[in-house]
Structure formats: structure tokens, C-alpha cells
Structure 1
Amino acid sequence: MTRTLRNIGIMAHVDAGKTTLTERILLDTGKIHQAGDVHTGNTETDSHALEKKHGITISAAAISCEWRDAFITIIDTPGHVDFQIEVERSLRVLDGAIAVFSAVSGVEPQSETVWRQADRLGVPRLCFVNKMDQVGADLQRTVEMIADRLGATPLVLQLPLRGEDGFAGVVDLVAMKALYWDGAQPQPSAGAIPEELRSAAERQRQRLLETLADQDAAIMAAYVGGETISAADLKAAIRRACLAGRLTPVLCGSAYRNVGVHPLLDAIVDYAPGPEDRPAVAGLDPRSGAAEHRLPRADQPFAALVSKVQASRFGTLAFVRVYAGRVTAGTSVTNATSDRTERIGRLLRMQADAQIEIDEARAGDVVAVVGLKSVVAGDTLSDPAHPIVLDGFVIPEPVIEAVVEPRLGQDQERLGQALALMARSDPSLRVVVDADSGQTLLRGMGELHLQIAVERLKEDYNVDAVIGAPEVAYRAAASRPSEVDHTLRKQSGGPGQMARVRLAFAPLEEGGEGLVFVDETVGGAIPREFIPSIEKALRQSLRDGGPGGYPVLGQQVTLLDGAFHQKDSSGLAFELATREAFRIGFERAAPILLEPVMRVVVTTPEDYLGGIIGDLQSRRGRIVATEPIPRGQEVIAEVPLARLFNYVSALRSLSQGRAVHAMAFSRYAPAPIGVAEKLIATA
């Protein structure tokens, strides 16, 4: 294993400049000879026709390059909240990330969302404050927002240099030199720090040393002892603090003008983690349930996580991160999640929508595999002799839904097939057939998510479809514990059906989702072969078991006891008994209806502040904070999604088109009683 492999994600709020930065990195490393532009639709990573059309990243794209002695795999992730699953599964398989911020806007809502995702997954980060050449750019304000809003401890490594034409370069506080860009070449020229900046640079350098000394014993000893600390010692200490997640290095520049990209590449090599810097990956032995660990080495038993499955012109591609061992084309591996054998067809190193075929993938590699038949995102591939199931990733619950139908009746079957393929590729996109009406419901993370899905039907699958008006995806939850003891007995002349289950229901903590199933039966009250049928029925019940048929957001169910008949009990009998027990028990648990609540951030000139706050409150919004910003105010509110349809038009009218907003899912909260009763009555 080499210490010069880097797997890096680029993450940020929409329009912070992620894709532009990726283009400049590819240009500066010699991967491409001319940088593309998001607005003209010719970038390497935004290769899909819909990404070119909308000017946004929809699907995370991997591409590789080399810098100094490092091989760097970069994944450019979407910035729009509707596609957060792409960020989630990218961060799950990467070792580090670059968080990009606009120097004008600072920390924006989706920046906070992706930062929390990286926190949860323990991914070390570097920060790149972009757009330093724009009017209103303020590095210090952005750094303060990183500390205040994200809870990070930023370590500023550069200061901006101003020239006759504005932003001209940076002061490197580690080497204590100035770096200038003349616009013709991507590489900077080094020089002495301008006299007017010398005092500020020395103060910031002192602050850098003090911050590092608080976190690093070696720097503390040298600092207290009055020793000279070399740039090499500083870099080593910064790397240690970054890998441990104690400090976050901050660099700045302008990706569009290719200023500051070279030092960022150096920082990726110097400070970002390689695969061997990350903890051993943990999982479970599917045969025994025992905890297992794999070190990121090629001599370990093979283990890899499938992060994404998608159709392409090369066939069905499974994107995998190899955590341990090695694998070659033609090898048989075990899908430890489903206990199926799969054969590795071809191994590809992806370059956005292009490919390079490789013979072998080793620990630390992020590659695509052709030939896997039945894998889905989150599955684990492993050595058949040493199976392991790795932790997957969090799949967000959809918050919006709409009816989707083909324009031509004869396309109904093709629509279903296309939607199934899309849902396999994007787990946050759900397809449900309404049992009463027979209509196909498409559920997703927002209006744009559903719109793009329908456009993809036409673009990728040649299925012309129409979508109905979006509706909020409400959820149900229990508000108190309950218990039920239910027995199923049926006899119709032949073999009968008998099953008894005693279940205890308990609400999950706020934010909890899905089924938490606990089996506390003893003494063979229910044979072990019937337990999976009980769990299966509970998961099915969560899909439509709430009042009015709404899905249940989350529920803990404990199997306390039960009974069976030697001849009349079966898996089906226990499924039926469990479904009815869930219905009874959930009714006793005083169910409530939950509605998705969005975090809305509005940036507005001062003149329109009062009207915007009043409008948000009229939408049942709760104002969380108002903060002064350059040239205006920022309003942060929590508003039910149901009251935010067509908010763009309303905000434009209230502010004469001068205010902008961003929103992200915050949480599910109880719907008002009157709203809940009306929804249930009409469901």
C-alpha cells in the first residue's frame, strides 16, 4: 500500500464552484488541456445531458489525476439538497473531502448539511474559500462562519493578496512567502510578502502556531521552548491534526481564474488522509454475527462496499470502494449482504463518463465493476471464505410525491421497468403503486428531484411521461408505548393456519427512522425459522400501516412471546398474524401524523425584511434567527414543506426579485391536529 493514494470528495452548497474547481484541478494536473465551463455545458464531470441543460451536478462523478507523487481520485458531488444521497454515499467510501465555500456567501444551508454528513461519517476535511475575486469576498467572515455554524476549528493557512486588478494571489503562512498568479499560467510565482501585509501575516502566523500548539505536543514543546519551527514540522503537525479531525485547514482562491489551485493540490497531498490513515473498516460476520475488522491492506481478505449501481452504455455498473484485499477480473466473490455469489466481469477506472479498463483493484481503490447481476447500493462484496457485511449509508426518507403516468398507454410496462432501474440507482427515489387507484407514485427529496427523474425517463429510457402536482409525503409515528397479544387461527378443512405473537411497541427517539426489531423470545416459543417472517411483516407494515395508510417513519417493536402449532404454523401464518398485530398495536400507540419541516434561509436587502418575515410566519414558519450580512439580512426559519410550494414566486414578488432563498430538509414534526384530521379523512 502506498501512502500517496488520495480519495477525495468535493462538497458544497449549489453554485459555490465545486465543478469549476474540479475542472481547474484536472487542467493543472494535465488530465485535460482546456477547462470546461458549467454555463456552456462542457465540463468533464457534468457529462449527462440533463446536467448540461440545468447547469447543475445531478450525479456524483469520479475522475482521477496525479499530482507530485500522489494518485488522486476526485468525486464531484451535487450541491443541491434534492440529491443529498449522492453526497452521502460518496462520503461513505471516500477518505477525505474538500469543503468549498463562496467567499461572498460564506456558509450556506447545504454547506451545513453536507458538513454534518461528513461529521457523522468521520471524514477529515480541507476548506477552500472560493470566489475571492468577487465583490464582497471576505475570508475572515467565512472563517468565522465555519467556526460558528459548523462547530469546526479552522486553521487559516493563507491570506489573500490584493493587486491592481483585485485578487492577485495568496500569502502562504506555512512557508511565509507570497504567491502570485499573472493569469497566463496556472502555476504561481513566489516572492516576498508585501511590506503592507507583513504585520498582518506575522499576526496570523502567530495565531496558526498557537492553534497548532493547543492540539500538538511537539509544536507546543517547540513553541514554549522558543525553538524555530520549520515549515516541514508545521506541515507534519497540520497533517496530524487534520487526520484526527481536531483542526480543519483553510485555503483560499478563485477557481474560475485558476488562482490558488496549485496550493490546494499540494494541501491534498500534504494533509489529506490516504486509505492507510483511516481506521480499519468494521463489519459483521453474516454467519455468526460476530464483529469483524479489515485493515486497508492488499494482504487482507477481500472486502468492498457497493456505493452505487447505474445503467450505462458499458452495461450495468456497480461503483465499489475496495477496503481490503485485492480482486481481479473473472474472480468470484460473495455478496455477503444477500448471500449470493457474483462474478467480477470487468474492472474499470471511471473518468466521468469515460472508462479505463484495469486488471486489478486493491485496497483503497474506488472503481466500477461490470458483470454483477443482483447487487444494490449498500451491499458488501467479500472473499467467499471470509464473508463480512460492512455498514452501508443513511438513505434519506422522501418528503414529496407525485403521480407519474406515461403519455401513451402502451408505455405503462416500459415506465415501470425504467422507474425500477432508476430507483435501483437512486435509493432516495421511491416508486409505489397505490393499492386503491393503481396509480404509480414517485417519491423523492424535492420538486427538482422529481422533475429530473421524469426528464431522465425521456432522455435515458425513451419513455415520455407526465407528472402530477407534487404532494407532501407525510409520515406517521407512535406517540406512546403499547402492547398486543394476537393469535391467528384459521381452519378450512385442510391444513390450517396458526400463529401467536406478543409484541411491544415503543416510539423511537426524535430523528429515528425505520424498524428497530428486538427478539426477546426464549425457550423456543417461536421456532427460529419463523422470526424472519415476523420481521418481514413488520417492515411491510411500516410502509402503509399508519392512519390513512400513511407510511410509519420509525418504530421499535419487541417480540416478547408467541406460540406455534407443529402442523398448522408457517412463515405465511406468522406474517399474517404480525400484520394484524401491528395494526392493533399501532392504533393503541396513539399514532400522530408527521409533516416534513424545511430549514429555509432567505437573503434579502434590509428594505424587504419585515414583509419576508411576515410571509414566512403566515406559512406556519418559525423564525430561528435573523443575522446582518453585507448589503442585507439573512433570515433563518423552519417552515412546513406543505406551505412552501410556489415560494419562489412569492419571494420574488415580495422583494422585487432581489431576495434569494435556499432550503433543506430539517426534520419531521407533528402536523397540527386540524391538518392531520383532514388528511386522514381524505386519504
Structure 2
Amino acid sequence: MKYAEHKQLEKIRNIGISAHIDSGKTTLTERILFYTGRIEEMHEVKGKDNVGAVMDSMELERQRGITIQSAATYTIWKDHNINIIDTPGHVDFTVEVERALRVLDGAILVLCAVGGVQSQTLTVNRQMKRYNVPCLAFINKLDRLGANPERVLKQMRSKLSHNAAFIHLPMGLEKQCNGIIDLIEEKSLYFEGDYGDIIRVEDVQKDRRTEVQERRHELIEHLSNVDEQLGEMFLEEKTPTIDDIKQAIRRTCLSRSFTPVLLGTALKNKGVQPLLDAVLDYLPHPGEVNNTAILNESKNSEGTQIVLDPARNNSKPFVGLAFKLELNKFGQLTYLRCYQGMLNKGDNIYNARTGKKVKVSRLVRMHSNNMEEVNEVFAGDIFALFGVDCASGDTFVNDGKLNLSMESIHVPDPVVSMSIKPKNNKDRDNFSKAVARFTKEDPTFQFRYDNDNKETIVSGMGELHLEIYAQRMEREYNCPVELGKPKVAFRETMTAPCSFDYLHKKQSGGAGQYARVIGIMEPLPPDQNTVLMFTDETVGTNIPKPFVPGVERGFMDSCDKGYLSGHKLSGVQFRLQDGAHHIVDSSEYAFFLAAKGAVREVFENGSWQILEPIMFVEVTLPDEFHGTIIGQLNKRGGIITGTEGADGWTTLYAEVPLNNMFGYAGELRSMTQGKGEFSMEYSRYSPCLPEVQEQLIRKYQEEMGLVPDEKKKRKN
């Protein structure tokens, strides 16, 4: 079979397969590739033969039996090119789904016949809505114990608000699953042969004809509500032909006003070929989707939206979007989708964001992690390039003067942070290489150095997300790492003003040191409790002006580490009012030490307290868990500041100390059956509870060896 052939636009489909965890996305992709002749044999996701599915090309994916990275492939079915992206189901890898949906024209929403609409189904559904992606629903796993497609259809209508109806009916469920009935053509389909590749078509059994008539009528009714042409036929009581129904489904599917529901079981090889036919019949080709770009005619202009032309004529300039970066043994691979024009091997293209010119030395099409060379790509194609320095979401054009940019990908904020460090110091080089690569590949994986606690912090979408990256560092870079709970950046501040008069004197032979500082240290108002202020109020020459910067440096240096719990000081003002100097022994360094002594004196005489960061938390959850989650936030020391609700969902706004938010992601998911989501951002610093302060002081004193260990006390 010749794969690298180019079809006209109408014969191309770009589809994604997305769903909740364990709904059977990867198994379904495996079957599609087998039936289209793309692979010689099928393997299972957690295969007994230790091969694993072809789309799970990463060793970690095969071991865990989950999809971590979206994988791209393309195949041919009935003379149509189909580009397929298999996406992960875990909420931790949300950005992989976002990327795929951004560049696809249509999607297959896979639902489990037992689990139905689950948490990630809701997230995927929201993402499809965001990018306006038409979809088909495929209810998989009809062979599983407890399979109930009727219940799943009801959930699609109630929870996902889809105008959905069956276009297939099952012939038996669980072990009795023999095949499916096509409602449009009113035929029974049996999948025979070792791999279900022989389809036997028969008339519907007599005992099910009435049910088929009723269900077909229900389908036409659902379509008539949203399609004018079929609605008119329905009102005139005309009987629509098979072709009329198919065209109505296509029109409504493209406008996202109707979702056809197909049935099958990928594992038992039933219902996959009709699904492929439905992809060709009902999902759009690249020419039927409006893709826009923003044209910035000058640096200062707002930019105008233009619609890209996917027609396969070569007159329009090339426009492509880089939607995914990946590093493999050959170097960095950049996945692109071509939206307009064409690209030949050897052409020059420009990154619209940076203006950098790149020569296209190799053009490849991807099949999981295997590559096939091509000489040219056209609008609608998904392909990959080597050695292109860019970021995820960059736009490429073949005209350096064309300032075009496409809408970037929505990147959710990370919710979980952990400290990270390599187990062996000698692995530091590999560690920095791994971090540089992963942060470039995945915008939800973020990395920063925390000066307060002198540790490296990584942030991501969940604990599994960070765990996977830690394992990848060990496997791919031979750099084992330790993940730990990050420390919270507490602060120390004063509660009342305190004056000081400190003399620093060292005059015992040789060059002496002499400096005296007099003044007052006071707390700043609560809205300034994160800043430090130094004011010079001296009059005259008691402290010569060249020495004042020394006093300021001494104060700032002392604020790096407080005496209460070892955290930074903040929200304090140092007012220098007077002092004294010696004509020979005074120096800037002497005043630096005097200021440090003054701060230490104020610490002993003044009253201090510890501040903690308070986070602004936003939780989105189904109404039924409202009470439980409010109770849970209160238990974590949170104050509810507002709520709002719509369509069965509630959003809670609260302020919670960061120290109490660890482990909340997992707890929220388990308490809301995986449906709840939350985001948090820094709000302000506020005094912590007396017991927390007591605990921090005690811990610091133990670390500094100021408190004898309890065990030693008992021995004595």
C-alpha cells in the first residue's frame, strides 16, 4: 500500500480519540490501524505477549498500561487519508489533549458502557467545546459485565448536554454481544473471522423490528429538532431516505447540534469498521472547518482576523502551527499541522514569533514513533520536522514579511508543586538537560529555584504528572531524583515598634572598629507586610553620609534569616535617627555590623510573629458535593468568600493557608468521584495560628540545637 500519496481535501480526515481513563482509546486505535491494513497484527495495551499497543511507544506507557503522550499516525480507509491522534485520559496530562484538539477537525468521544460519563469525559467535552470540535460518540466495552448503553446515552444528554441519539443498537450485551444493528440502513451486522474482519450483513430479526422502527423514529425526531431540511420533511410526514438521514447527521454533526452515538467493543473486534465509515460520512474534512489567524500589519496594530484557505492550490502562502515538541534519538521533533498552502522539502520557513529562518531538510509523517519520509505536505496534513527551535504553539510561514499568528493553545495553571533534587551530585548536568527538555515540551510542567528555602521546585497538573517526569529523568537521562514536599515560605514580622541604641566597638590593638546606631524599628501596615523599608532620618554629621549605606546593608542582610523560625523578615521599617562615629576607627563595615547588632537587640526586646501565605482557591464541583467540600475547606482552615452555580455545577471561592493545601488535589478528586477541579493563586500574607507558630519555633530551635532532644532528656 502506498501511504505517502496525497489526496484531495475532501478525502482527508484529521481526528482525535479522547475519553476518560481506561475507556479503551488505545485499543480502539490499535483496531483501526489493523482493519485499515496499517499494522500486521494486533496487541493489547497490557498485553500478555509483552509487546503492548503500537501507539504506546514509550516504555513507561507499556508498563503502566496508560497513555502519557499523545501519539500521531495516519492510515487509509476507503480511499480516504485519516490522520489520528491518540490522547491520554488522565487529568494530569490535560495539555496533551488540548494540543490534539487544537489541531484536529473532528473527534471520537469514547465512553465506557459500564462507567459512562466520568470526570475526564467532562473535561474533554469542555475542551471540544472550547475549540468547537465536532464529535461522534462511541460507546465501547459492550462485552463488559454491567454494560448499559441506555444509561450512558441518558448521561450524555443530562451531564454533557448533548443532543444525542443511537444510530446503532446492540445485539446482546456482556457475553451475548454478537454484533450491532444499523438503525439508518436497518441491517444487522455480524463481525466474524478470527479478528472480526469479515462482516456479515443480514436483515433485522423479526422480534426486534418494532424496536428498530421506534428507535429510528426517535433518531429522526432528534435530528428534525436541529436540522431544517429534515424538520420540513418530518412536518410534511414524508419518509426520509437513508441518504437524507446521513446528510442530516453530517450537517448537524458539523454544527455541533447533534451527536450520533455508535456502539461496539474494540477488544472483541466488533463495531470498529462502522465507526470508520461514520468518520468519513459525518466528520468534517479540513476544507469544512474555519481556521483563523491574526494578521498584524504593523507592530502597534491590534491585528485583524483572517480566515485561512485550505484549498490545495499553491498560490497561497504556507501557514503551519507547531502543536507538540518531542525529543527522540534523532533530535527534536516538532509536530505541525499545515493550515494553508504547501511545503516542499528544502523550503525555507520563518517562525512568526521570533522571525528566525529555518531550512526544511526533512519532512516526515508519523506512525506512533516510526517515521516515513515525504517530499511535500499540503493544507490539512499533519507532519513533523527535525531540528526546529521553537515553542509549543508557534506559527510558521514561508514568507518572512508575513506577520501571522494563530490562536495559541490554552494552558491550564499547574496545581501541585514538589521539591526535586538529583540523588547524586554528579548527575547535575543530566538533570538540567532533562528539565530544559521537559519544560520546553510540556508547558504545564514548570521549574523554578526557591531562594527562600534553597531548593528546586517543580510544578505540574498532579502528583502522577510529576512522578512520571521523575521516572523519565531516571530512564531517559540516567538521573535518579528525589521528590519531596516543598516547604512553605513563611515570614517573620513585628507586632509593635521597638527602639534601639546599639554601640559596636572593637579597639584592641591595630585598626579598630567603632559605630553607634540609634533609631526605631516598627511594623508596616498589613497591605505592606511583604516589603522592607529603610529610612535615614539623621541630621548633622553624627553618622557621616558615606556610612549610611553600610547601615542599610546590615539591616537588609539581617532580614534574610529571622531569629524566630529562620524565615525571612518582612513588613518591617528601620528608621535610623542618630548615632556616633570615631574619626579613625569608623568605617562602612563597622556600621554594617552595628546595624546587624541593632536588629538582634530589637529581636530580643520586641514582640514578633510569623506570617504565612494565604492562597485564593477556586473549586469547581457538581452541586451534589457542595456541603462536603465546604466542610473540607473549613477543616483546612479556609474561609469561604463566595459561591456561584449554573447547570448543576458550583464554583466555590475561598482563602486557605498554603500550608494546609498539600494533598488537596487527590482528596478533592476522591471526594467528588474525580469530577472536582481546583486552582489556586497567591493572595496575601497573614499571621498564622499560635499553634502553627509554636510548632515552627520549636522545629527551628531543634534544628539549631537550642532545645535538648526529648529522648536525651528522658535518659538523664
Scaled by the length of structure 2, the TM-score of the pair is 0.70
SS in 2 for 1:220: helix
Write out aligned runs for 1:552-571 (5 A): none
Deviates more, 1:181-190 or 1:242-251: 181-190
What is the distance in 1 between the residues matched to 2:692 and 2:343? 53
Alpha-carbon shift at residue 436 of structure 1 (Å): 3.2
What is the distance in 2 between the residues matched to 1:250 and 1:396? 30
What is the distance in 2 between the residues matched to 1:77 and 1:342? 29
What is the distance in 1 between the residues matched to 2:40 and 2:286? 29
What does residue 85 of structure 1 align with? 95
The answer as to 2:374 corresponding to 1:377 is: no
What does residue 417 of structure 2 align with? 401
- 8 Å CA contact retained: 1:95, 1:278: yes
- 8 Å CA contact retained: 2:146, 2:174: no
What is the distance in 1 between the residues matched to 2:174 and 2:25? 27
- 8 Å CA contact retained: 1:187, 1:262: no
Residue-by-residue CA offset, 1:6-36 (whole Å, 9 max, x unaligned): 0100000000110111111111111112111
Give percent identity, aligned residues only: 35
CA 1:615–1:369 in structure 2 vs 1: closer, same or farther (change >3 Å)? same
The answer as to 2:289 corresponding to 1:278 is: yes
What is the distance in 2 between the residues matched to 1:613 and 1:162? 44
Q: Which of 223, 229, 234 is the equivalent residue of 1:223? A: 234
What does residue 294 of structure 1 align with? 308
Alpha-carbon shift at residue 151 of structure 1 (Å): 1.4
Alpha-carbon shift at residue 383 of structure 1 (Å): 2.4
The answer as to 2:219 corresponding to 1:213 is: no
What does residue 338 of structure 2 align with? 322
Q: Which of 247, 261, 265 is the equivalent residue of 1:236? A: 247
- 8 Å CA contact retained: 1:10, 1:75: yes
Alpha-carbon shift at residue 189 of structure 1 (Å): 1.2
SS in 2 for 1:7: strand
Write out aligned runs for 1:394-473 (5 A): 394-469=410-485
What does residue 170 of structure 1 align with? 180
What is the distance in 1 between the residues matched to 2:245 and 2:108? 20
What is the distance in 2 between the residues matched to 1:464 and 1:164? 45
CA 1:612–1:187 in structure 2 vs 1: closer, same or farther (change >3 Å)? farther
Residue-by-residue CA offset, 1:585-634 (whole Å, 9 max, x unaligned): xxxxxx9622364759999xxxxxx9999989966899x9xxxxxxxxxx
AA at the equivalent of 2:46: H
Can you give the 5+ residue segments of structure 2 that lack an aligned partner in the other structure? 1-7, 491-526, 529-567, 570-612, 644-648, 697-716
- 8 Å CA contact retained: 2:413, 2:679: no
CA 1:29–1:38 in structure 2 vs 1: closer, same or farther (change >3 Å)? same
- 8 Å CA contact retained: 2:144, 2:174: no
What does residue 10 of structure 2 align with? 3
What does residue 102 of structure 1 align with? 112
Alpha-carbon shift at residue 163 of structure 1 (Å): 7.4
What does residue 128 of structure 1 align with? 138
What does residue 595 of structure 1 align with? 617
AA at the equivalent of 2:254: L
SS in 1 for 2:9: coil
The answer as to 2:43 corresponding to 1:32 is: no
SS in 2 for 1:236: helix
SS in 1 for 2:402: coil
What does residue 533 of structure 1 align with? none
What does residue 662 of structure 1 align with? 674
AA at the equivalent of 2:102: R
What is the distance in 1 between the residues matched to 2:63 and 2:293? 41
What is the distance in 1 between the residues matched to 2:624 and 2:470? 29
What does residue 149 of structure 1 align with? 159
Alpha-carbon shift at residue 290 of structure 1 (Å): 2.8
SS in 1 for 2:63: helix
What is the distance in 1 between the residues matched to 2:624 and 2:636? 14
Alpha-carbon shift at residue 675 of structure 1 (Å): 9.3
What is the distance in 2 between the residues matched to 1:36 and 1:679? 57
Size of the aligned set, in residue pairs, is 547
What is the distance in 2 between the residues matched to 1:676 and 1:427? 34
Alpha-carbon shift at residue 144 of structure 1 (Å): 1.1
> For the pair shown, which has the larger CA radius of gyration, 1 or 2?
2
Q: Which of 632, 637, 642 is the equivalent residue of 2:661? A: 642
AA at the equivalent of 2:88: P
CA 1:328–1:438 in structure 2 vs 1: closer, same or farther (change >3 Å)? farther
What is the distance in 2 between the residues matched to 1:376 and 1:284? 20
Write out aligned runs for 1:185-204 (5 A): 185-204=196-215
Q: Which of 136, 142, 158 is the equivalent residue of 2:168? A: 158
CA 1:679–1:223 in structure 2 vs 1: closer, same or farther (change >3 Å)? farther
What does residue 149 of structure 2 align with? 139
What does residue 179 of structure 1 align with? 189
- 8 Å CA contact retained: 1:286, 1:389: no
Can you give the 5+ residue segments of structure 1 that lack an aligned partner in the other structure? 475-480, 483-547, 550-590, 604-609, 625-634, 652-658
Scaled by the length of structure 1, the TM-score of the pair is 0.73
Residue-by-residue CA offset, 1:541-571 (whole Å, 9 max, x unaligned): xxxxxxx99xxxxxxxxxxxxxxxxxxxxxx
What is the distance in 2 between the residues matched to 1:616 and 1:28? 51
- 8 Å CA contact retained: 1:13, 1:108: yes
Alpha-carbon shift at residue 644 of structure 1 (Å): 4.0
Alpha-carbon shift at residue 667 of structure 1 (Å): 4.0
What is the distance in 2 between the residues matched to 1:164 and 1:8? 29
- 8 Å CA contact retained: 2:179, 2:271: yes
Deviates more, 1:74-83 or 1:294-303: 294-303
The answer as to 2:367 corresponding to 1:351 is: yes
What does residue 579 of structure 1 align with? none
Alpha-carbon shift at residue 221 of structure 1 (Å): 2.5
SS in 1 for 2:184: coil
What is the distance in 2 between the residues matched to 1:210 and 1:650? 38
- 8 Å CA contact retained: 1:336, 1:381: yes
CA 1:678–1:466 in structure 2 vs 1: closer, same or farther (change >3 Å)? farther
CA 1:37–1:675 in structure 2 vs 1: closer, same or farther (change >3 Å)? farther
Deviates more, 1:176-185 or 1:211-220: 176-185
- 8 Å CA contact retained: 2:143, 2:174: no
Q: Which of 270, 278, 300 is the equivalent residue of 1:267? A: 278
Alpha-carbon shift at residue 461 of structure 1 (Å): 1.7
SS in 2 for 1:104: coil
Alpha-carbon shift at residue 182 of structure 1 (Å): 3.7
Q: Output the aligned Cα RMSD.
A: 3.7
AA at the equivalent of 1:194: Q
Residue-by-residue CA offset, 1:250-300 (whole Å, 9 max, x unaligned): 101111101110110000010011100101423232635431332112332
SS in 2 for 1:459: helix
AA at the equivalent of 1:427: P
SS in 2 for 1:62: strand
SS in 2 for 1:38: coil
Alpha-carbon shift at residue 215 of structure 1 (Å): 1.8
What does residue 521 of structure 1 align with? none
AA at the equivalent of 1:293: V
- 8 Å CA contact retained: 1:322, 1:363: yes
- 8 Å CA contact retained: 1:349, 1:367: yes
What is the distance in 2 between the residues matched to 1:680 and 1:350? 55
What is the distance in 1 between the residues matched to 2:147 and 2:19? 17
CA 1:248–1:592 in structure 2 vs 1: closer, same or farther (change >3 Å)? same
CA 1:7–1:601 in structure 2 vs 1: closer, same or farther (change >3 Å)? farther
